[in-house]
Structure 1
Amino acid sequence: MNENWDENGKGKTRSYPSYVLVSVVSAILGALIFSVAFSLNTEKEPVQDTQQTQNTGNITINPSDDVTTVEAVAKKAMSSVVGITTTEVVQDLWSTQEVQGVGSGVVVSADGYILTNSHVISNGAAQNIKIMFMNGEEKEARAVWYDTLMDLAVVKVEAENLDVAHLGNSENVSIGQLAIAIGNPLGLEFERTVTSGIISGVDRSVSIDEFNKMEGLLQTDASINSGNSGGPLLNSKGEVVGINTLKISSGEGLGFALPINMAKPIVEEIVRTGEFREAYIGIEGIDVARYQKMTGRELGVKVGVLVAKVAADSPAELAGLRPEDVIVSIDGDGIESFKALRERLYRYKPGQEIRIGIVRSGQTRDLLVKLADVPK
């Protein structure tokens, strides 16, 4: 999906006479671009708790004088962590070249589904994805699902009886708890490196360029480097509580992970059905803060999603949503950004009804929207 605007990425939209708004939308359509001030930890060269009965689930974390917690967690989780290499064909004005990428991933099903970051697979552009397992085996993989805005992806290999990571509950994470990262820093030469630290912060927001930020992140001082992306951040029980995604390169001990609860509904459905059915409302929009900064136009609210376009015959249009409405809540929970709207919709299924709170011409009102499948 494109980072901004189109909540589903498909379908024709109905244009409306709002010159300023449409001009701004047109000016900044495109994929999420990460600032050079940050390192998205992939190395490149020119559900409820999801647990299956596998070997990893039979190891109990019970440290003694001879075995530390970190060592016990590593023994439990190591076999469910994989290396990922990719090949992407990049073309510039003068030439075409293959660019190699390296990242990490977490096995989430015994039959070969693997969770990682979207940027590890070049946001769907990788033409060749290979998975390296702890036993040295290598398998080809295919992308099943990815979301560039959330920076999450699921790939699939043909396999049986893989060791599966235990997905914990990131809502229970608190500052000061043990944090253990496993991944492939700086490439496969140091594959399955284990580092440890603590949870330094929760619900962090990190600006990645002038207008975009990642929200709700877990912060850790466990060392995270290039190639760690997509690998697990684990708690003292050996449960995955986050997916390592970025570090601030200008400082030490500033690593960030996506909370695992963000991914669990998606993982559960893909493991169960082989696909993820996204709930569709049919809008294009922009963060209120971003729009106001770009245009200088005040909208009467500080946060939310300004609706730019409404797709014809979409759930949004049928519910009465209009361009220049500002979405501020879903079922009573505040919506501060387009990313938050996107993540919130992942909790619902096509066919469900949601109550969207909007501000229109300074007046607050609620609209009942029946979600649908993304148009083919």
Structure 2
Amino acid sequence: MQHDDNRMKKPSYLATVIIIAVITSLIFTYIAPKFLWGKIIPFPYTGTGPLRKEVIIPKAEPSTIAEAVAKKDTPAVVGISSIEFERQYYFLERKVEGVGSGFIVDKNGYILTNNHVASPSAKKLTIYLSDGSTLPGKVLWSDSTLDLSVIKINAKNLPTIPLGDSDTNIVGQTVIAIGNPLGLRFERTVTSGIISALNRSLPIEEGGKQKIMEDLIQTDASINPGNSGGPLVDSKGNAIGINTAKVTTAEGLGFAIPINITKPIVRKVIATGTFKAPYIGVVGYDREIASYINADIVIAEGIYVADIDPAGPAYKAGIKKGYILLEVDGKPVDTMTALKTVIYSRNIGDKVNVKYRTLTGDIGTTTVTLSK
């Protein structure tokens, strides 16, 4: 009989313990923080320092690299609207409006974009800033082969995006594209991805003529019509490319122009108001393009001279068709972008030292005087 009584008391004891636990939890969860802590019960000890009566909440940090970059760079991205007139038939003209992106590279209103976004033939350029204001723009310099333009607006103390170093790009690194896809409706859209490949070549048609864009950065960051001219930036927020094209027949195939080719151009436009490209007088292909044009042309390094201006500086210095340019002023030139970057950093009339390989495989050097 006594054994049965003990069994009857166990549930009552267990229920008492549960009730006490619930009441204690309620006190410390709801009642203590509001009514007791700091008044009757001291604040809980929260660190190795002295007890304190205030809870310090750490400053919120960006949750991702893309978020931090977007916050830093988005204010310097602009929308660009251009108006041109195309001739129809013999005496009629049709108004054509295009939209794209660009980004501010100097606080005094210098903007970098694509030539197909803002060309000198545009009758009107309107620049849309991140603060909601609009300003007229003027094309100071443009090149359809490079698909680059530099625009100027009359403004001061603008946010800018610093130019990075596209020569240090590696396949697989994180990149972020910022622009205005599908017009100005989705302004300053941010997409992220990686560099999928480097030194890509892309055949395109412009004005009914075929041309090849060389040495492009390939990325899987989403790039759509309207993103053209916007920045492709690295994880530090530095521009390493200018978004320029997308293969519409495939997904995740976007392309950007390496930023290094723009540096000497932007520097001279800011200093003088324009840029006059020094001329070396060769038509050259890197190894990828050379083999694409002619399977019999196989080179391991340098630039293959596919054609040469008989009245140009290179020809006068002894360089001939079929030679391979290896270095200019001691800098290797394995891509046309690398060659142009070195040449564009010089001025018309400057002398450059060129190292080359002849048709017979001999190595030679010569001095080329750059012309207009």
Cα distance in 2 for partners of 1:268, 1:352 equals: 17
Residue correspondence of structure 1 range 82-101 to structure 2 within 5 A: 82-93=78-89, 95-101=92-98
Percent identity over paired residues: 40
Q: After TM superposition, give the deviation of residue 221 of structure 1 in Å.
A: 1.4
Residue aligning to 2:237:
238
Change (3 A) 1:227 1:358: same
Cα distance in 2 for partners of 1:199, 1:360 equals: 35
2:185 is paired with a residue of what secondary structure?
helix
Q: After TM superposition, give the deviation of residue 353 of structure 1 in Å.
A: 2.4
Residue correspondence of structure 1 range 349-368 to structure 2 within 5 A: 349-357=347-355, 362=360, 364=362, 366=364, 368=366
Residues 313 and 371 in structure 2, CA contact (< 8 A), matched pair in contact too: no
Q: After TM superposition, give the deviation of residue 340 of structure 1 in Å.
A: 6.0
Cα distance in 2 for partners of 1:219, 1:276 equals: 28
Residue aligning to 2:193:
197
Residue aligning to 2:266:
267
Match of 1:346 among 333, 344, 347: 344
- The one-letter code matched in structure 1 to 2:218 is Q
Cα distance in 1 for partners of 2:292, 2:246 equals: 26
Q: After TM superposition, give the deviation of residue 198 of structure 1 in Å.
A: 2.0
Cα distance in 2 for partners of 1:325, 1:66 equals: 54
Change (3 A) 1:365 1:65: closer
> Are 2:124 and 1:125 aligned?
no
Q: Which moved more, 1:334-343 or 1:99-108?
A: 334-343
Residue aligning to 1:255:
254
Cα distance in 2 for partners of 1:255, 1:146 equals: 22
Residues 106 and 116 in structure 1, CA contact (< 8 A), matched pair in contact too: yes
Q: After TM superposition, give the deviation of residue 126 of structure 1 in Å.
A: 1.7
Residue correspondence of structure 1 range 82-231 to structure 2 within 5 A: 82-93=78-89, 95-122=92-119, 124-208=120-204, 212-231=211-230
1:310 is paired with a residue of what secondary structure?
coil
Change (3 A) 1:321 1:235: closer
Which structure has the higher relative contact order (CA within 8 Å, separation 6+)? 1
1:78 is paired with a residue of what secondary structure?
helix
Change (3 A) 1:264 1:327: same
Cα distance in 1 for partners of 2:291, 2:216 equals: 25
Cα distance in 1 for partners of 2:170, 2:81 equals: 33
Structure 1 unpaired stretches of 5+: 1-62
Q: Which moved more, 1:353-362 or 1:110-119?
A: 353-362
Residue aligning to 1:70:
66
Residue correspondence of structure 1 range 242-321 to structure 2 within 5 A: 242-281=241-280, 283=281, 285=283, 287=285, 304-311=304-311, 315-316=313-314, 318-321=316-319
Cα distance in 1 for partners of 2:121, 2:265 equals: 21
- The one-letter code matched in structure 2 to 1:121 is A
Cα distance in 1 for partners of 2:72, 2:291 equals: 49
Change (3 A) 1:67 1:301: closer
Q: After TM superposition, give the deviation of residue 165 of structure 1 in Å.
A: 1.1
Cα distance in 2 for partners of 1:300, 1:171 equals: 24
> Which structure is larger by alpha-carbon Rg, 1 or 2?
2
Cα distance in 1 for partners of 2:178, 2:62 equals: 21
Structure 2 unpaired stretches of 5+: 1-58
Q: After TM superposition, give the deviation of residue 361 of structure 1 in Å.
A: 6.1
1:50-92 C-alpha deviation (Å, 9 max, x unpaired):
xxxxxxxxxxxxx956643222211111111001111111113
Q: After TM superposition, give the deviation of residue 255 of structure 1 in Å.
A: 0.9
Residues 224 and 246 in structure 2, CA contact (< 8 A), matched pair in contact too: yes
Residues 150 and 339 in structure 1, CA contact (< 8 A), matched pair in contact too: no
Residues 110 and 164 in structure 1, CA contact (< 8 A), matched pair in contact too: yes
Residue aligning to 2:20:
none
Cα distance in 1 for partners of 2:310, 2:286 equals: 17
Cα distance in 1 for partners of 2:89, 2:362 equals: 50
Residues 110 and 163 in structure 1, CA contact (< 8 A), matched pair in contact too: yes
Cα distance in 2 for partners of 1:293, 1:180 equals: 30
Match of 2:75 among 79, 85, 95: 79
Cα distance in 2 for partners of 1:107, 1:293 equals: 36
- The one-letter code matched in structure 1 to 2:165 is N
Cα distance in 2 for partners of 1:291, 1:216 equals: 13
1:205 is paired with a residue of what secondary structure?
strand
2:142 is paired with a residue of what secondary structure?
strand
Cα distance in 2 for partners of 1:293, 1:166 equals: 35
